[in-house]
Structure 1
Amino acid sequence: MWIFFNIVILTVYCFTFSHGVVQFSLNFARSTNKVVVIDHYYMLEYSIYRDGERLQSVVLGTGLGGYIKSRKTGSGFVLYGRGDEIEFSIEVDDSKFSQLSISRRNIQKSVSDCIDLASESDVHWYGGNQQRWQYYPIQKLVHKHNAYVTKEEFNQAIAERYWFNSQGIFFYVNLDAPLFIDQNNQHPDFMCLEAKRALPYDIYHTRFDFTYHIGIGLNARDVHMKAVEYFLGKPSGHPALEMVRDPIWSTWARYKTNVDEATVRVFANEILSYGFNGQFELDDDYETCYGALEFRQSKFPNIKNLTDDLHAVGFRVTLWVHPFINKDCKNWFEEAKQSNYFVADHSGNIETQWWNSEKSQAAYIDFTKTAAADWYYNRLRSLQISAGIDSFKFDAGESSWVPIDPVLNGTAKEHPSKITSAYVRTVSKFGSLVEVRSGQNTQDLPIFVRMIDKDTEWSLNNGLPTLITTLLQMNMVGYPFVLPDMIGGNGYNDNRPDEEIFVRWLQANVFMPSLQFSYVPWDYLSGSVDVVALSKRFVDLHAEFTPHIMNCFEKAVSIGAPVNPPIWWIAPNDKIAQSISDEFLLGEDILAAPVIEKGATSRDIYLPAGEWLDGNTGETYRSTDGIWLRDYAAPLTVLPYFIRK
């Protein structure tokens, strides 16, 4: 554990001496913000100040301590000595927002800058990666030298290099840095940004750059919107209204791979007979072999007749697809191999493994190659037309599926996660009914991003509570169009959802952008409540608020606002709101507080300052500082939600 000194800051530009230590100060002309570097001789540290108050401290990984020289630049200064150089540069200098960069160039060895997650008391952290144990806020997460790329491990399908805190400070790391994260591991209460020349990053260039940016705003909301403006970006459009308003009915969780035409017809007829409709999604095991993009005749003898019939009764039809070709899919595999359409490593090996192949029995299409991406797109477009498919569910996409040490097109410094963005950008061309599950630096795309498969659990081990925390995490790294995973979870290992978790999961989904069923309400006809009628009520409630959801989508497109932010979004200085992880907002006027604890029939609810109308009782709650509703009654039939007046 490091020990910091409290140093009196002198308002001079370059360096001063105080109490035997050297200080270097970066002052912003249009605000009271400043960054002060302190040389403790055994350690180099910088602190961020606003109005004279220290907000954040970071330990610099460098050999400069006690040997520092400095030189002034046009926008800041450079510290150097013993072969190391660190440049501090002002990038934005406004009265309400300041931004600087910290850069090292042509690094040969590894470096590690460690952010103090507990610089001040009651500070909370947000952003970072999607993961299995999705704690929120994120300051208690543990990362052990985690390669910060998209990967199946930890459910890290989204890995944006962006973190911010409740004090109004963000950190954003450039994509060309070979970034690893070590948090609460070697140094408790610190998150270390490690940059090093090691796999899965490029190891063939002997030098690399490491630059990150720090934003200083008035509060978390303001600084996040600046991060959207300068780094995260905003969507260019939004998903289709129909995909928001109408439920999705997937074959996956209920049937797994046991699907054929008869199964589809029975399932579709059940949906209609119980008074529902929407989007019918055919999932895994329809292909002749994985990667063929052809329907198996023994299962689907006339797919076009089937989709025509589904369309005739009001369904849209979508299809599960993936970026792999298995070796036993010989014709397509050989064509892609001969055309160099697969990702290969530096030795030329193209073999990989995914969940539907044995080891070394598949390959991953290289979407960084235009010809390969076009080949995949054109084959899929042909299937779409011939089979009568409206759109697709695009699975996988993480960089961990490629051979380790891949050779990809484009700058090597952005490998391996470049494959993720290339895949997602290729498939996004299929339009506003598309869903993907992975992303890096793809917040601009107008498509749904699905949460990684959730387990039928009540715990934070990828269970129901993480439906909310993952929703918040994705929104607060710039992905507002979140597709929650299937209601009730996936039922893996024969752990099918019971009545209670199914209903509570559905309730938690209502004020999220979309509803996705696989297990169905009529699986619970002998339950303690009328699950079919209850489900219809909540599906209708979601449809009733669809115009509001679409308005939130439009706001995401216009200014980059989150669709489902945490409740502190409307009260950024509220210390209680900053730590709430089991409530969320729809826009800025709807607060949802679903029950996510097994057996619970009541819960405590926190309402930020304002006037709130209870969506169930019609009662109004008013508060200037925020208010707790203790033991709010919520039997299985009740979803607590509130509308801000």
Structure 2
Amino acid sequence: MQAKFLENEFWYGGAVYESYKQPIGEEDSVEWDFRENPTANQIMPLFLSTKGRYIWSEKGFQIQFHKGMIQAEGDCEILLKEGYDSLRGAYLEAMKQHFPFHEIRLSKRFFEAPVYNTWIEMTFYQEQNRILEYARGILEHGLPTGILMIDDGWSPYYGKWQFRKDNFPEARKMIEELHKMGFQVMVWICPFITPDTVEYRETRDKHLLIETPEGKPRILEWWNGYSAALDLTNPKALEWLKGQLDVLQEMGIDGFKFDAGDSYYYTEGDRLYKKANTDELSRLWAAFGEQYAFNELRVCFKTGGYSLMQRLCDKHHTWDERGIGGLMPGMLLQGLTGHPFGSPDMIGGGEYLSFQENSGECFDAELFVRYCEIAALMPVMQFSAAPWRLLGKEDYEKVLAAMKVREKYLPVLLETVQYAYETGEPVVRHMEYVFPGQGMEKTMNQFMIGDKLLVAPVMQKGVTSRMVQLPRGMWKLEDRILESNGEEWSLNSEKGLLVLEKIEK
């Protein structure tokens, strides 16, 4: 497929992780190989244009945007469709034709209350008493109850999805106590099995594992070492896993964080129950997670329209695109690729080394607060590092202030989430999506919630004001009324978060 850029045309799509390189204009030159998802986040074989065009393929493909020309190739037909007027028009048509939304059964609790993840505080050393202490700390420091995710390290090993007896002597009692506090409880799982275990031998003998072409279990390497992998194309493998998760739910566990499953951990050409490429194995992990109202996914292929809470991949505790600078572009691209129910990673960043002992020189309190302010008006707000442990009184008050901002605008946010359930339109919307033709194609540092709430966080260190591109019309900023002709405004915000409401005439 070859095509020319139209005049003043910009493109968005592909890999969420590559959002900081977008949009792509006719002066840009970028090339991507998406035949297998090379990233740790969501990817869709989709690109959308501000001129109402879109590119779609059923499989991953290679694409090059070079100085006004587009060239794409792959092992199946690559469609270029046009005539849909705008970015919004292209999205709606692509969604209708290629990824119509499933029935969304995702719990509204994700949007009504924060998520708290135990990873940063405990990493691989999850313990019953420490989890209860963390939960009590949330309430004692004025934060609301929400969803509590117990991360990696709660089970004896991978594939045996039971609470380890040494660290969780009374797991059922712990779950009951967390429920009484007002928390829903989720636990971390992966599609892998530790070798040389009872579960490994059982699944091996039943041929529930991915096998090499020679018929032996594939031992793959991932970030936690070496593991066998469930054959997700085999219904009996999924039944085997679900049987363990059913027992956990009978104990009171509300849902699961479905981690790992990245395409690049699998090996093309391995023996499976049903033929599938590595991206399809990744997609099947996400499809399995859809049955649970409480779920979280981080990496997927072609899962636009699925009933999933999709988190951005672990961000660094930095100001650049690896950290806070990647939050808004990532969330905007999630929305434009059919993943509207997202979380901009853990507040402060999910890369945990910056929060460990003796890492004070790495930790930046101002950066943590800015993360919190950005997350405050995203669909899902997720804490992990305990802010009361890390921050002084003044900075902690800023975290509580951000929570008040979320509380104030929560009705608008929940209304927009409900609209996404019904229509598939993004919750976090690009300015060009809502206000086409007003010169905001490149604006990736502010966003709309629905069509009426403009959010412009401060993302630079030591700064309390920023330029805001304000679409034409009347806008309310706290007690001020601003009338814009579509120009940029320099606005101050000691709170670090500018929220403007569109006034309808």
Is TM-score (shorter-chain normalized) higher than 0.5? Answer: yes
Counterpart contact for 2:314–2:351, Cα < 8 Å? no
Distance in 2 (CA, whole Å) between partners of 1:511 and 1:148 is: 34
Q: 1:478 aligns with which of 338, 354, 369?
A: 338
Distance in 2 (CA, whole Å) between partners of 1:220 and 1:572 is: 7
Corresponding position of 2:35: 148
Q: 2:138 aligns with which of 259, 271, 274?
A: 271
Q: Quick one: structure 1 residues 526 and 220, their matched pair in 2 at CA, closer, same or farther if it must change by over 3 Å?
A: closer
Residue 587 (structure 1) shift: 0.7
Q: 1:382 aligns with which of 244, 247, 251?
A: 247
Residue type at the aligned position of 1:149: E
Distance in 2 (CA, whole Å) between partners of 1:141 and 1:498 is: 35
Matched, 1:604 2:464: no
Tell me the secondary structure at the aligned position of residue 443 of structure 1. coil
Counterpart contact for 1:170–1:216, Cα < 8 Å? no
Provide structure 2 residue ranges, at least 5 long, that are not aligned to the other structure: none
Corresponding position of 1:563: 427
Q: Quick one: structure 1 residues 266 and 171, their matched pair in 2 at CA, closer, same or farther if it must change by over 3 Å?
A: same
Distance in 2 (CA, whole Å) between partners of 1:443 and 1:121 is: 29
Cα-to-partner distance string for 1:515-554 (whole Å, 9 max, x where unaligned): 1001232134436xx2333222222322333332222122
Q: 2:407 aligns with which of 533, 543, 554?
A: 543
Residue 114 (structure 1) shift: 4.1
Matched, 1:169 2:61: no
Q: 1:455 aligns with which of 316, 320, 335?
A: 316
Corresponding position of 2:20: 134
Matches within 5 A, 1:317-466: 317-328=185-196, 330-349=197-216, 350-357=218-225, 361-386=226-251, 388-410=252-274, 412=275, 415-431=277-293, 433-460=294-321, 462-466=322-326
Counterpart contact for 1:246–1:543, Cα < 8 Å? no
Distance in 2 (CA, whole Å) between partners of 1:141 and 1:336 is: 48
Q: Quick one: structure 1 residues 583 and 141, their matched pair in 2 at CA, closer, same or farther if it must change by over 3 Å?
A: farther
Q: 2:117 aligns with which of 250, 257, 277?
A: 250
Cα-to-partner distance string for 1:222-241 (whole Å, 9 max, x where unaligned): 12211111112124225322
Corresponding position of 2:347: 487
Counterpart contact for 1:180–1:195, Cα < 8 Å? yes
Counterpart contact for 2:366–2:395, Cα < 8 Å? no
Distance in 2 (CA, whole Å) between partners of 1:558 and 1:285 is: 37
Distance in 1 (CA, whole Å) between partners of 2:156 and 2:469 is: 53
Distance in 2 (CA, whole Å) between partners of 1:300 and 1:189 is: 59
Counterpart contact for 1:377–1:426, Cα < 8 Å? no
Q: Quick one: structure 1 residues 613 and 269, their matched pair in 2 at CA, closer, same or farther if it must change by over 3 Å?
A: same
Counterpart contact for 1:149–1:159, Cα < 8 Å? no
Distance in 1 (CA, whole Å) between partners of 2:129 and 2:424 is: 44
Cα-to-partner distance string for 1:367-410 (whole Å, 9 max, x where unaligned): 21111111111111112323x21111111222222233234455
Counterpart contact for 1:612–1:621, Cα < 8 Å? yes
Q: Quick one: structure 1 residues 497 and 239, their matched pair in 2 at CA, closer, same or farther if it must change by over 3 Å?
A: farther
Tell me the secondary structure at the aligned position of residue 423 of structure 1. helix
Matched, 1:582 2:445: yes
Distance in 2 (CA, whole Å) between partners of 1:446 and 1:550 is: 16
Cα-to-partner distance string for 1:216-258 (whole Å, 9 max, x where unaligned): 2212221221111111212422532222121111111232223
Q: Quick one: structure 1 residues 477 and 366, their matched pair in 2 at CA, closer, same or farther if it must change by over 3 Å?
A: same
Counterpart contact for 1:232–1:477, Cα < 8 Å? no
Distance in 2 (CA, whole Å) between partners of 1:374 and 1:514 is: 30
Distance in 1 (CA, whole Å) between partners of 2:219 and 2:58 is: 30
Tell me the secondary structure at the aligned position of residue 545 of structure 1. helix
Corresponding position of 1:622: 483
Residue type at the aligned position of 2:466: R
Matches within 5 A, 1:502-541: 502-526=368-392, 530-541=394-405
Counterpart contact for 2:44–2:304, Cα < 8 Å? no
Residue type at the aligned position of 1:333: Y
Cα-to-partner distance string for 1:100-151 (whole Å, 9 max, x where unaligned): xxxxxxxxxxxxx3444xx34532111111226632314557435x24333x
Corresponding position of 1:229: 96
Tell me the secondary structure at the aligned position of residue 77 of structure 2. strand
Q: Quick one: structure 1 residues 370 and 132, their matched pair in 2 at CA, closer, same or farther if it must change by over 3 Å?
A: same
Distance in 2 (CA, whole Å) between partners of 1:335 and 1:290 is: 14
Distance in 2 (CA, whole Å) between partners of 1:142 and 1:377 is: 42
Corresponding position of 1:194: 73
Distance in 2 (CA, whole Å) between partners of 1:295 and 1:323 is: 17
Cα-to-partner distance string for 1:286-327 (whole Å, 9 max, x where unaligned): 111122112221111111111111112222211111111111
Q: Quick one: structure 1 residues 571 and 304, their matched pair in 2 at CA, closer, same or farther if it must change by over 3 Å?
A: same
Distance in 2 (CA, whole Å) between partners of 1:235 and 1:300 is: 37
Counterpart contact for 1:475–1:563, Cα < 8 Å? yes
Matches within 5 A, 1:23-102: none
Residue 213 (structure 1) shift: 4.0
Residue 492 (structure 1) shift: 3.8
Tell me the secondary structure at the aligned position of residue 417 of structure 1. helix
Tell me the secondary structure at the aligned position of residue 411 of structure 2. helix
Deviates more, 1:555-564 or 1:296-305: 555-564
Cα-to-partner distance string for 1:169-193 (whole Å, 9 max, x where unaligned): 1111123xxx432436xx5554432
Cα-to-partner distance string for 1:577-630 (whole Å, 9 max, x where unaligned): 11101001111111110011122221100111221111xx3211123x412112
Counterpart contact for 1:278–1:316, Cα < 8 Å? yes
Q: Quick one: structure 1 residues 593 and 638, their matched pair in 2 at CA, closer, same or farther if it must change by over 3 Å?
A: same
Counterpart contact for 1:607–1:628, Cα < 8 Å? yes
Residue type at the aligned position of 1:622: E
Distance in 2 (CA, whole Å) between partners of 1:325 and 1:532 is: 41
Q: Quick one: structure 1 residues 618 and 148, their matched pair in 2 at CA, closer, same or farther if it must change by over 3 Å?
A: farther
Counterpart contact for 1:247–1:515, Cα < 8 Å? yes
Provide structure 1 residue ranges, at least 5 long, that are not aligned to the other structure: 1-112, 197-208
What is the count of residue pairs matched by the alignment? 493
Larger Rg: 1
Q: 2:493 aligns with which of 634, 637, 640?
A: 634
| Structure 1 moving runs of 4+ over 6 Å | none
Cα-to-partner distance string for 1:15-63 (whole Å, 9 max, x where unaligned): xxxxxxxxxxxxxxxxxxxxxxxxxxxxxxxxxxxxxxxxxxxxxxxxx
Distance in 2 (CA, whole Å) between partners of 1:568 and 1:213 is: 21
Residue type at the aligned position of 1:159: I
Corresponding position of 1:98: none
Residue type at the aligned position of 1:468: M
Counterpart contact for 2:466–2:492, Cα < 8 Å? yes
Counterpart contact for 1:238–1:553, Cα < 8 Å? no
Residue type at the aligned position of 1:640: L
More helix by share: 2
Deviates more, 1:467-476 or 1:336-345: 336-345
Q: If the length of structure 1 is used for normalisation, what is the TM-score?
A: 0.73
